[in-house]
């Protein structure tokens, strides 16, 4: 019986074959360096480039430690049996190109940590730059009534609310899962008193939910879907397989949803109010042309801004 038990324990994982089943404090522990053997190669073979970063993220998560506190060498770190099982399960998922953010279930965005959920858009690092730019422009305002179109996990609004106590935010979002997640993130961050999210799909002639149809705002922000439909073939599996395409698909020129936001802004910004958009790098000149040709006397193109890679990505528009 004892022999059988010992045998089945040995079979639970290849990596446990050198286990010490004795009574000292390291019983049932395996060095992380040993558990790691072969995984960097498997990740590479699956097409994942930054294997070191991926492994460190997963190890930190399994050990419930902050990324920065884990040594790059992983020396002296140990997994117990359930941690080892998690580690292997998460790495298998990563080899199937599940995004790290979904494996870990949360992700840092600027100074806040957001819960993530399958099918809800994962906030990107460039969006942090975008939000910093908007915050810089509004830090001296007394009160800001903000509307966000397509809030996803709530990243942009919640980071603004976290930095600027004078902001109150309303968001609309077409995905039910994202609406629920954004509200949950607001609660986790204790920002729920200044954040409301409505499950609504902005459409032509139905830009806002009925209850907000007469509301006006000082500022509208949006990171609308802006990937051109033809570019989908070049996206990574993490995006195509695991993200909701409604969060990405901007139609043939990438501006299908942005055009709806322009109409919404005409109706729901106070005169002098601003619309800030994160878009693709081809879009700012196109937006400038659209403003001049179609919105003269209603919306005015103020400026565009580059991201850290010097790509023209962000635009500021004013309601006349
Ligand atoms: C690129 S994601 C951005 C999410 C979030 N703002 C961020 O930066 O992480 C676009 C979001 O807009 C939402 N969305 C797309 N079309 C929409 C529409 N017509 N009305 C409302 N939300 C929409 C998507 O569901 C998605 O959550």
For 199-223, the pLDDT digits (tens) are 999 999 999 999 999 999 999 999 9
* Ligand 1 atom with least separation from CA of 278: 8
In whole angstroms, give the CA distance from residue 299 to residue 226.
20
Please determine, for residue 13, whether its predicted confidence score (pLDDT) is greater than 50. no
User: Each residue of 172-208: pLDDT tens digit?
Assistant: 999 999 999 999 999 999 999 999 999 999 999 999 9
- My answer on whether 41 and 161 are in the same domain is no
Residue nearest to atom 19 of ligand 1 (CA): 202
Q: DSSP character for 170?
A: E
- At a CB cut-off of 8 Å and minimum separation 6, what does 124 contact? none
Structure pTM?
0.89
- Ligand 1, residues at Cβ distance < 6 Å: 121, 123, 127, 149-153, 155-156, 172-175, 178, 201-202, 223-225, 246-247, 257
Please determine, for residue 101, whether its predicted confidence score (pLDDT) is greater than 80. yes
Residue nearest to atom 6 of ligand 1 (CA): 151
Domain enclosing residue 60, as ranges: 2-96
- My answer on whether 153 and 183 are in the same domain is yes
Domain ends where: 76, 96, 116? 96
On whether residue 101 sits in a domain, the answer given is no
The pLDDT assigned to 140 comes to 97
Please determine, for residue 276, whether its predicted confidence score (pLDDT) is greater than 90. yes
* Ligand 1 atom with least separation from CA of 175: 25
In the three-class reduction of DSSP (H, G, I as helix; E, B as strand; rest coil), residue 83 is classed as helix
In whole angstroms, give the CA distance from residue 149 to residue 263.
12
On whether residue 222 sits in a domain, the answer given is yes
- My answer on whether 219 and 188 are in the same domain is yes
- My answer on whether 291 and 229 are in the same domain is yes
The total domain count for the chain is 2
Domain ends where: 96, 122, 153? 96
CA–centroid distance, residue 37 to ligand 1 (Å) = 40
- My answer on whether 154 and 123 are in the same domain is yes
CA–centroid distance, residue 258 to ligand 1 (Å) = 11
Residue nearest to atom 10 of ligand 1 (CA): 247
In whole angstroms, give the CA distance from residue 18 to residue 46.
28
Lowest pLDDT segment from 7-21, 131-145, 146-160, 204-218: 7-21
On whether residue 126 sits in a domain, the answer given is yes
In whole angstroms, give the CA distance from residue 107 to residue 255.
28
* Ligand 1 atom with least separation from CA of 148: 6
Terminal CA-to-CA distance of the chain, rounded, Å?
82
- My answer on whether 37 and 114 are in the same domain is no
Please determine, for residue 38, whether its predicted confidence score (pLDDT) is greater than 90. yes
- My answer on whether 122 and 261 are in the same domain is yes
Say if residues 34 and 50 touch (Cβ distance below 8 Å): no
* Ligand 1 atom with least separation from CA of 224: 10
The pLDDT assigned to 27 comes to 58
- My answer on whether 194 and 290 are in the same domain is yes
What is the overall mean pLDDT for the chain?
Answer: 92
Domain ends where: 96, 116, 140? 96
Residue nearest to atom 25 of ligand 1 (CA): 247
CA–centroid distance, residue 295 to ligand 1 (Å) = 23
């Amino acid at each position: 019986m004892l022999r059988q038990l010992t045998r089945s324990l040995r079979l639970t994982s290849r990596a446990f074959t050198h286990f010490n089943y004795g009574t000292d404090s390291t019983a049932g522990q395996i060095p992380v360096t040993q558990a790691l053997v072969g995984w960097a190669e498997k990740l590479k073979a699956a097409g994942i480039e930054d294997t070191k970063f991926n492994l460190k993220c997963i190890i930190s998560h399994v050990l419930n430690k902050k990324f920065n506190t884990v040594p790059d060498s992983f020396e002296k770190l140990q997994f117990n049996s359930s941690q080892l099982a998690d580690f292997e399960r998460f790495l298998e998922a990563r080899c199937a190109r599940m995004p790290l953010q979904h494996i870990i279930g949360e992700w840092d965005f600027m100074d806040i940590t957001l819960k993530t959920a399958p099918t809800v858009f994962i906030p990107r690092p460039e969006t942090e730059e975008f939000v910093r730019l908007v915050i810089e422009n509004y830090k001296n305002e007394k009160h800001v009534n903000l509307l966000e179109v397509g809030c996803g996990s709530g990243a942009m609004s919640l980071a603004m609310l976290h930095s600027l106590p004078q902001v109150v935010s309303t968001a609309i979002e077409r995905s039910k899962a994202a609406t629920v997640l954004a509200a949950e993130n607001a609660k986790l961050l204790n920002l729920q008193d200044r954040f409301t999210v409505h499950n609504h799909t902005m459409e032509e002639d139905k830009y806002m939910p009925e209850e907000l149809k007469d509301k006006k705002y000082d500022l509208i922000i949006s990171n609308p879907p802006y990937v051109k439909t033809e570019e989908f073939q070049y996206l990574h599996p993490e995006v195509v397989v695991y993200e909701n395409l409604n969060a990405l698909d901007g139609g043939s020129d990438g501006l299908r949803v942005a055009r709806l936001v322009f109409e919404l802004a005409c109706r729901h910004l106070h005169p002098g109010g601003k619309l800030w958009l994160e878009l693709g790098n081809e879009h700012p000149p196109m937006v400038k042309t659209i403003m001049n040709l179609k919105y003269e006397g209603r919306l005015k193109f103020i400026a565009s801004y580059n991201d850290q890679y010097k790509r023209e990505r962000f635009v500021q528009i004013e309601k006349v």
